[in-house]
Amino acid sequence: MEIKSGEEVGRKNPLCLFELSGAVVSSVMRQVEKEVWELPGPILQGILPLLNIYYLDRIEEIAVKKGLSTEPIWCKLWFDIMKTRPSRLENIKCWRKKFLETFFSNVLRGILDVSSHKHLSDPCFLPLLYTS
């Protein structure tokens, strides 16, 4: 295996320091959750899309207090994970509610596997893993 310089690796997958930091924070969220809640809004906004659905749901109230919306993130998760389009007749007012209702329904019916997507994997979902 050939070892490449950081510059060569960086050209293939250019991540800024903020994105790298956000990825690390999201991976250790269990240990730093309360500190993340206290971050300023602009920093928190960059971390929100990196969180799994467990922490995204938990941080919802804090995000709203800081003037941030998680709706675009829930909408993106819907299309990335559910891979379906909602009915045209359905007027979705809250993507979070729509996603979570469909998520739990699909897991309990065995349609969705929680180990299938990085935003679904967390030790908190262990009981769901056994039901899916």
Report whether 102 contacts 77 (CB < 8 A).
no
pLDDT digits (tens, 9 = 90+) for 69-103: 999 999 999 999 998 888 887 889 999 999 999 98
- Rounded to whole angstroms, how far apart are CA atoms 82 and 77? 8
Q: What are the pLDDT digits (tens) for 35-74? A: 999 999 999 999 999 998 989 999 999 999 999 999 999 9
Tokens of 9: 């690796």
Cβ atoms within 10 Å, residue 104: 13
Distance CA 1, CA 49 (A): 33
Tokens of 130: 């056994």
Rounded Cα distance between 89 and 20, Å, is 40
Return the structure tokens found at 112. 């969705």
Q: What is the DSSP letter of 81?
A: I
Report if pTM > 0.95.
no
